[in-house]
Amino acid sequence: MSESGAAEKEADHHPYRRPVDAATLILVDRSGATAKVLVGKRHEKVVFMPGKIVFPGGRVDKADSRVPTAAPIPAALEADAGLLPDPSGLYLVTRAITPPGRIRRFDTRFFAADASAIAHHIDGVIHADAELVELVWVELGSKPLADLHPMTRNVLNELERRLASGPLRHDADVPFFHFYGGVMQRDLLRT
């Protein structure tokens, strides 16, 4: 068994932990012949999915639910970039819950947005000591995406299916991956 496989197997023996809400943003660039997605490589020393290729995201903080999208944002933020949040271009693609027995558990909503929605870049976030040590655009189906965590692969497969049917839509059914009796289930959340 590989070192990462052994670490994942060992992770199955932790007591029950309630999943923490999380969100992930999958940026999609469809400007070329083959769509690309933005992925990051996690630092080798983080507890959850060390060294894995992931979509940027994280747990939901208490303050996140208090961010009004229709109200002004603090002047300090507005002065830095002059931007206001616009959730209308976010499309819920998948929901997944980490299996029981893991050291970290998340109930994650995976959102996709078109890369054209990027309005501002912040330098210095990705570096050798950060949670994400690398951030790159990769073509769907390319080799860097071949060695993904199984759940990340499931999410990417769902995204590819949605993209193959045309533009992303808000009224599409949303796959929900969760575990029951030790077996992964795939249900559909109807919109």
pLDDT tens track, the chain, 191 positions: 344 444 444 445 666 788 999 999 999 999 999 999 988 877 777 766 777 777 887 787 777 666 555 445 555 545 656 666 777 888 999 999 988 888 788 999 999 999 988 776 667 666 677 667 777 888 998 887 777 888 888 999 999 999 999 889 999 999 999 999 889 999 999 86
Judged by DSSP in three states, 114 sits in strand
How far is 96 from 140, CA to CA, in rounded Å? 21
Question: In the chain, how many H helices and how many E strands?
Answer: 3, 9
The pTM for the full model equals: 0.77
State the burial class of residue 47 (Cβ atoms within 10 Å of its Cβ: 0-12, 13-18, 19+). exposed
Nearest by Cα to 25 from 161, 117, 129: 117
**CA distances for 135 relative to 125, 160, 169, angstroms:** 10, 20, 26
How far is 169 from 93, CA to CA, in rounded Å? 9
Arch. (CATH architecture) of 3-189: Alpha-Beta Complex (3.90)
Handedness of CA 117, 119, 121, 125 (dihedral sign): negative
Q: Specify the pLDDT at position 69.
A: 55
Nearest by Cα to 29 from 86, 112, 146: 112
Q: Specify the pLDDT at position 173.
A: 92
Q: Specify the pLDDT at position 30.
A: 93
Q: Specify the pLDDT at position 3.
A: 42
Q: Specify the pLDDT at position 81.
A: 61
Q: Tokens for 56? A: 């940027």
